[in-house]
Amino acid sequence: MLFCLPSCWEFLYLPWEIFLRLSGSSMSRRVRRRVVKKGKEKVGCPEIDENLSLNEKGMVDWTKLPDDTVLQLFSCLNYRDRASLSSTCRTWRTLGTSPCLWLALDLRPHKCDSVAAASLASRCKNLQKLRFRGPECANAIINLHAKGLREISADCCRKMTDATLSVLAARHEALECLQLGPDFCEKISSDAIKAVAICCPRLQKLRLSGLHEVGADAINALAKHCPNLTDIGFIDCRKVEETCLGNFASVRFLSVAGTTNINWNLVLQKWSKPPNLTGLDASRTDITPTVVSRFFSSLPSLKVLCALDCPELEEELDASFLSNNNNKGKVLLAAFTDILKEVATLFVDTPKNERNIFLDWRSSKIKDRKLDEILNWLEWIISSSLLRVSESNPHGLDKFWLNQGTALLLSCMQSAQEEVQERAAMALATFVVIDDESANIDTGRAEAVLRDGGIRILLNLAFSWREGLQAEAAKAIANLSVNSNVAKAVADEGGIRILANLARSVNRLVAEEAAGGLWNLSVGEEHKGTIAEAGAIKALVDLIFKWSRCTGGEGVLERAAGALANLAADDKCSMEVAAVDGVHGLVSLVRNCKVEGVQEQAARALANLAAHGDSNSNNAAVGQEAGALEALVQLTRSLHDGVRQEAAGALWNLSFDDRNREAIAAAGGVEALVVLARSCFNASDGLRERAAGALWGLSVSEANSIAIGREGGVPPLIGLAKSDVADVHETAAGALWNLAFNPCNAFSIVVEGGVPVLVHLCSSSTSKMARFMSALALSYMFDGRIDEIAQIGTSANSPSKSMTLDGARRLALKHIEAFFLTFTDPKAFFSAASSSAPAALNQVTECARIQEAGHLRCSGAEIGRFVGMLRNPCSVLKACAAFALLQFTIPGGRHSQHHVNLLQSAGAPRVLRAAAAATGATLEAKIFARIVLRNLEQHHIEPAVGRQSV
């Protein structure tokens, strides 16, 4: 069925703003806002007139409202809500079927089949205006039995056939207006046009788009059978028999915009009959200056000629063309003329503000019927032409868009014609976009919309009850909000709350565009809190649950998941996402949805939910959701790079939880991620970074580290470590550091040529973290533990694939020493060596500190290994171990207390004192050891904990 009829009020969303719109009705006298003070805040609340009935609970009894107020209320709702509201009581059911509420019907947002149409038939006996989408709906609306229908407007009619259009015309003989477009009607031929001409003799307006051919017989049939036909549009047609268009004695407005085959010289010879032709639209054609001039001179009645985006005209003419050719009273609308100024010349007596000419006309109390017809037609053809121009986005029109195109679109969005408003909003959403794939928009055009007050106009349209306007306005707001200044204006104007309300719409297109707007607005950190306060997070999660069960909702799901992904990056918002069951909704998408865009955004959302570490429990919650980890592992095998990237990123973040880490491995994560790392050398930087990062996270567990080495993970990580991109080789270095903790892996790194790669990173990387972790990996490899393995393994490898262990050790130790020496200041070291003053050690600490290292969290085994290195006879390894422990224990560090506890448990103070006093130790090792001892003293000692993750 088309409309859902709930049995109680709770299903109907009726904001107070709806009631506030009822100015001039009984409602405005009985219910109004008053403001009271609560502390220092002003609080808006409804003030109830004493004449309005209250029930026994003290609540307003809305069923006792006067009939005229109820009808006004109904008129502010969309058709679905009208039907829902009318189901609440018998009186309102009767009022809900009042003919005045059903003079116009827009079926585009709904799936309308014959059953739904039949259910509406009782309400539509007096229907005069109908809008629908697609040929399926065209076949169904015959069941409405609206024989008095005067106006039909349809889009998405590519598949509409001659038979459908002919039957439509035959069943509605009173038709006065027929519009199909703006998309192409490729299957409609001249035969259907002849049927329309014969069946609809009252036809006054006919506008068809994208026909292959309009033949002479069809045009002559219209001229013969439709004597009242005054407005004709054959737009974007491949072929029109242009000479026959001169046979219309009644035509006042003619559009052939975008029609490609017109022989203008032939037209000039034949078009002598239309005595009333007032407006001609030749936009996007090859019309020439000579033809324009002769039109104005040979057709006395012609007042307006629109020629937007006509290359031959624009190359040869300028704004002085009309005045130089004595064409007083004639208006040429082109990119090189001031269109609003030219339109203003149509007003003879009353002076007008040229920049707001259409607004002045709408508000004028003096009405001229003929002028009204011209201006209504101009709004329609200007909005239609600008929509087509914005879609093709030809070069050379930047100045036009900035100087007057934007103002024209904003003016059209305030038109009294709903179709004009929609097309102008569509054009606005399109003309700002440079690259749809990368979401780049033209900053100048976006700023022009902002400067001319376009955001308020768009929000007013989005606040309309008409769902077509809601969808197009929301889309324009979404695209414009890519610009940070526009996004701020949208938020300041209350646009976030409007979009949050639209996201609750049962109309798929409205919900989709509203979710897209919230997606773009949520990019900015400054708007996330406002979005959450507006209730948008729950609305977005609800969209996932609703549309994941329906076909055709992929666009809604992608945008909703994308918005939640942005919001989940904020700690507070991420907790709210989890609180409204967002984890379950997102996991259901990665498990069940097969659309790549949805998978990518859902995986990104889960990655961001899991990224907050110890600040909330979302990381564990995602891992505990049934099937989540298995689904993410499976997505790493996707053919789509974006999906693989976000899935790997989610696994990387989830691996920071001990239980998740082991569950990922149990779900085949080690094998899948090794395969991913092996296959992504030529992929994007983001994918390579996350593939290495996920292996880094998993390798914190020694069992997983061994499994990664066994699965062949060392060679691809060495390959990724060779990357010139800092983010990529940083994560690869982290993974190799963890792998090197195991002697077998360490030997594999040597054999696979990893030492020169790590040495290069240690000395040359722009990332301090990459240099630090490379040095630590090298120190793990050459602290003596792989010597026994090397004796067995070297004989099994060819000399070309490996290097001698002694040579590798010398190379590694040389660059380890060079690395930590870059963090020393000789003067500071000399001062610290000769003085025990805290200031001297502080100076060394500040010089040596690597800020990012504070995010590393070492296990007890790793801390024990560094303590063991302090006893190593190699002075370089001893100094490197002390340097590393300095980083991990600096007071104020994220995990410094944890590391201090582990050092106390490992008996490190005694070893550190020995290292600081050793006569054979280097000065660097002694000073670093002294600083670590001081760090231990400055921390409050807590009970030691077991092995933890990095």
Which one has a higher pLDDT value, 649 or 113?
649
Other residues' Cβ atoms within 10 Å of the Cβ of residue 369: 7
> CA–CA separation, 594 vs 553, rounded Å?
12
Ramachandran bin of 862, using left for φ above 0, alpha for ψ from -120 to 50, beta for the remaining angles: alpha
> CA–CA separation, 350 vs 366, rounded Å?
10
Local structure of 866: helix, strand or coil: helix
Kindly state the tokens that stand for 545: 């649950």
pLDDT score, position 137: 87
Nearest 10 degrees: CA dihedral of 838, 839, 845, 848?
Answer: -140
Counting runs of H as helices and runs of E as strands, what totals does the chain give? 53, 16
Burial annotation 428-441 (CB, 10 A radius, 16+ → b, else e): bbbbbbeeeeeeeb
Helix residue ranges per DSSP H, 822-856 = 826-834, 838-848
pLDDT at 364 over 90: no
Residue 158 CA, distance from chain mean position: 28
Residue 156 CA, distance from chain mean position: 24
939 neighbors 896 (Cβ within 8 angstroms): yes
pLDDT at 742 over 90: yes
> CA–CA separation, 904 vs 910, rounded Å?
10
928 neighbors 879 (Cβ within 8 angstroms): yes
pLDDT score, position 24: 36
Q: Angle at which helices 582-592 and 536-547 pack, to 10 degrees?
A: 30
218 neighbors 190 (Cβ within 8 angstroms): yes
pLDDT tens sequence across 352-362: 666 678 877 87
387 neighbors 346 (Cβ within 8 angstroms): no
In the chain, CATH 1.25.10.10 sits at: 681-789+804-822
603 neighbors 632 (Cβ within 8 angstroms): yes
pLDDT at 11 over 80: no
Strands 31-38 and 279-281: unpaired
pLDDT at 39 over 70: no
C-alpha atoms less than 13 angstroms from C-alpha of 273 in its C-beta half-sphere: 11
Kindly state the tokens that stand for 489: 């204006």
| Bridge partners for 54 per DSSP | 60
928 neighbors 833 (Cβ within 8 angstroms): no
262 neighbors 285 (Cβ within 8 angstroms): yes
Q: Amino acid identity of 905?
A: S
Local structure of 178: helix, strand or coil: strand
* Poorest-pLDDT segment among 265-279, 405-419, 794-808, 862-876: 794-808
Nearest 10 degrees: CA dihedral of 241, 246, 250, 254?
Answer: 60
pLDDT at 575 over 90: yes
* Poorest-pLDDT segment among 530-544, 670-684, 856-870, 929-943: 929-943
pLDDT score, position 327: 67
> What confidence category does residue 1 fall into, taking pLDDT thresholds of 50, 70 and 90?
very low
pLDDT score, position 60: 60
pLDDT tens sequence across 689-738: 999 999 999 999 999 999 999 999 999 999 999 999 999 999 999 999 99
Kindly state the tokens that stand for 622: 């995602």
Average pLDDT over residues 188-210: 96
Percent of the chain with pLDDT over 70: 88
Average pLDDT over residues 602-614: 91
pLDDT at 389 over 50: yes
pLDDT tens sequence across 555-569: 999 999 999 999 999
> CA–CA separation, 91 vs 808, rounded Å?
91
Average pLDDT over residues 103-119: 84
Kindly state the tokens that stand for 179: 């519009």
Percent of the chain with pLDDT over 90: 62
Average pLDDT over residues 217-239: 95
> CA–CA separation, 565 vs 562, rounded Å?
5
pLDDT score, position 613: 73
Strands 205-209 and 151-155: unpaired
| Bridge partners for 331 per DSSP | 304
Mean pLDDT estimate for the chain:
86
Phi and psi at residue 123, to the nearest 5°: -85, -20
DSSP string over 261-294? ---HHHHHHHTT--TT--EEE-TTS---HHHHHH
> CA–CA separation, 695 vs 701, rounded Å?
11
Kindly state the tokens that stand for 259: 């029609």
Question: Can you list the positions of beta strands (E) in 181-317?
Answer: 205-209, 213-214, 231-235, 239-240, 253-255, 279-281, 304-306
425 neighbors 462 (Cβ within 8 angstroms): no
pLDDT at 803 over 90: no
Q: Classify residue 295 as exposed, middle or buried by CB count within 10 Å of its CB (0-12, 13-18, 19+).
A: buried
C-alpha angle with apex 500: 591 to 449, nearest 5 degrees? 115
Nearest 10 degrees: CA dihedral of 941, 947, 948, 950?
Answer: 110
CATH of domain 681-789+804-822: 1.25.10.10
> What confidence category does residue 946 fall into, taking pLDDT thresholds of 50, 70 and 90?
very low
pLDDT at 16 over 70: no
> CA–CA separation, 648 vs 662, rounded Å?
16
Question: Can you list the positions of beta strands (E) in 791-859?
Answer: none
Kindly state the tokens that stand for 384: 């239609």
206 neighbors 196 (Cβ within 8 angstroms): yes
454 neighbors 410 (Cβ within 8 angstroms): yes
> What confidence category does residue 811 fall into, taking pLDDT thresholds of 50, 70 and 90?
very high
